[in-house]
Amino acid sequence: MRAQRREGRLTAPAATARRRDGRCQRAALPRSSPGRPRRRGSMTDIHAYLERHQQKELLRLLTCGSVDDGKSTLIGRLMHDTRAIYEDQLAAIRRDSVRQGTTGGELDLALLTDGLRAEREQGITIDVAYRYFSTDRRKFIIADCPGHEQYTRNMATGASTCQLAIILIDARHGVMPQTRRHSYICSLLGIKHLVVAVNKMDLVGFDEAVFEDIRRAYTDFAAGLQIHDITFIPISARDGDNVVEVGERMPWYQGPPLLAHLETVHIASDRNLQDLRLPVQLVLRPSHDFRGFAGSLASGVLRVGDEVVVLPSRGRSTVKRIVTFDGDLAEAHAPMSVTVVLADEVDVSRGDVIVRPGGEPQQASDIEAMVVWMDERPLVRGRSYLVKHNTRTVPGELEAVLHRVDVATLERRPADGLAMNEIGRCVLSLHRPLNYDPYAVNQATGSFVIIDRSTNGTVGAGMLCDRGDRSDRTDPWTAAGVDEGGRDHRSLVAREAREERFGQRAVTLLLTGLPGSGKGTLAYALEQRLFAAGRAAAVLYGPAMRRGLARDLGYTADDRSENLRRSAEVARLFNETGLICICAFVAPHEAVRARARQVIGDGRVLEVHLSAPVDVCRARDRTGMYARADAGELKAFPGVSAAYEAPGAPDLVLPTHELGVDACVDALVELLRSRGVV
């Protein structure tokens, strides 16, 4: 403890931790820790504390978001308020705060992570900075990621090993394009837990309405992401409100502060312990009577006596020993590093994978993956690269870019290659097959990096996809409507001739609203009214479509989009035959409805919004859908766990909570008459 008696002593006693470069650093212990060693306590007390500290669960997280949202300041505040900063570090930050002048002479905690000269001069973050701190409950490794668009690759690198992401949003500016970009990358990288920290609440007067507006805007955007655990917390990183302690200036917020949430978020079940994957890194043969295969368990659990298969040779054996530095084990689990001794002489080399029979990964030399491109030279067809997948490295080339993702809008666009910081779904052709799992199933065996063969630098990162998964394939909305021979089939009977015979104009009436707003009831009642009047009409109802043409679809945002796309194609065909088509769908997203109008024809769609509020729809529910959504059984349910975007300029608004069925049908018939349909 001699270091504590110097003038530059720690803010609290310290335990020794190992840095990546091999040198030792001291991790500060909170003064409030009941188990910290006393200054004059025995070495037994110190060792007991260090043992408890080593057993704490580790959470890896990152801060990301738009420029100047306060990411570095938040990390500095977390470390400052948990007493994880050396006193001499704190003194240096005070001096630099005065010299830089970024905070008017006040303590600038962002300088704790912004260590590069360019970062301090510009007041921005350029490279990813990692910091370590701990509390009584958990240990944390936190990455401070840059907010500028040109450093998106740095953010993706920092997020690749994290279990939780903190998305910072400036309360004055709301959801920015870079906020969406970083959120999409977090979703793409499989981060399961998201904290949306609305920062700088002190600059908007701690207004609850500002926080709620940002919450709604972000929830609407996040409906298209594959992240289901999202927590919203209003904070002031500069002053510390709701960071470590509850902020008294926001009494309307009843949730925990940020640190309390980080200490309690459940991450134990995030690790894949089902699929055994042990990539062999090294074959150890120190003597003639020992032959072991060393590597880090990517996933799963391995026990002595287990039967295993070695890929790609498919040799079988059983586990004889599991050897570690501390001795033999009866059982090992991910992410432990072990040396496995097999009972039989099986051919095993570096790059092979040890798996369990019946639980084998996919094998292919033509792979599809979502690729984040990080190099200034674009990813193009014909250039040869190295693909490093776990312990195996194989050469390969880009075969095709299926689409590029606009990460600000989540739209998929055609592309021939990828420029720096762009993301797209690609097909890679490899010279030797890989044994892999889709990234959504197993992140450890579903990821790879792309290496430039001339510079040996990492130029891209990829997340492997299941080739049978439609979720990221070419956008079906933009697919050409031709057959294999390139012919576009059209009827020889013109739509105008059919309309003249039926005495009506063929249009599509799109009824949209929350589940339970009365769409199906009104659609079939209107069909009956039109039939009685001698008109030709047909109904396309969402649940009915799911019993037939869309029976393979679920209720994710992509599946709802595909359901409406298929129905729009059917509605267009009905209109071509002169029929009035009545479509009744939730269709919660305005962008998807707009694409449906383009498929049918903008001039042939009348949009009707059934405006019954969610409380009324919930009370009408006889199927139990809302209750199942409340219980978490139905994911992304509009009005409960996902947003419903009401039409901005509908042709008609029907308050079905105020009007009866007959009155609503009368209004629909009048709309058709006023538009010259009947």
Does residue 468 have a known ligand-binding role?
A: no
Does residue 347 have a known ligand-binding role?
A: no
Does residue 306 have a known ligand-binding role?
A: no
Does residue 145 have a known ligand-binding role?
A: yes
Does residue 68 have a known ligand-binding role?
A: yes
Select from 146, 197, 8, 26 the least CA-distant residue to 88: 8
Select from 672, 677, 673 the least CA-distant residue to 504: 677
Rounded CA-CA distance 70/147 in Å is 10
Classify residue 435 by burial, with Cβ atoms within 10 Å: 0-12, 13-18, 19+.
buried
Select from 63, 167, 154, 2 the least CA-distant residue to 461: 154
Name the strand (E) or helix (H) holding 537.
strand 537-541
Does residue 341 have a known ligand-binding role?
A: no
**535 near 528, Cβ under 8 Å?**
no
At 472, list the tokens: 């990221």
Which neighbouring-strand residues pair with 499? none
**182 near 154, Cβ under 8 Å?**
no
Strand order in the sheet with 164-170: 129-134, 138-144, 57-65, 164-170, 193-199, 229-234
Does residue 53 have a known ligand-binding role?
A: no
Does residue 201 have a known ligand-binding role?
A: yes
Rounded CA-CA distance 366/402 in Å is 14
Name the strand (E) or helix (H) holding 310.
strand 307-311
**CA dihedral for 625, 630, 633, 636, sign (positive or negative):** positive
Does residue 176 have a known ligand-binding role?
A: no
Does residue 146 have a known ligand-binding role?
A: yes
Select from 201, 239, 195 the least CA-distant residue to 77: 239
Contacts of the segment 652-655: beta carbons below 8 A, 24+ positions apart: 652/606, 652/607, 652/608, 652/609, 653/608, 653/609, 653/611, 654/522, 654/608, 654/609, 654/610, 654/611, 655/611, 655/612
**341 near 351, Cβ under 8 Å?**
no
**CA dihedral for 337, 339, 340, 346, sign (positive or negative):** positive
Select from 366, 387, 380, 453 the least CA-distant residue to 420: 380
Helix, strand or coil, per DSSP, at residue 77: helix
Classify residue 438 by burial, with Cβ atoms within 10 Å: 0-12, 13-18, 19+.
buried
Does residue 139 have a known ligand-binding role?
A: no
CA atoms within 13 A on the CB side of 588: 22
Does residue 72 have a known ligand-binding role?
A: yes
Does residue 71 have a known ligand-binding role?
A: yes
Which neighbouring-strand residues pair with 654? 610
Does residue 66 have a known ligand-binding role?
A: yes
Does residue 442 have a known ligand-binding role?
A: no
Task: Tell me the binding residues.
Answer: 65-72, 144-148, 199-202
Q: Which residues does the annotation place in the binding site for GTP? A: 65-72, 144-148, 199-202
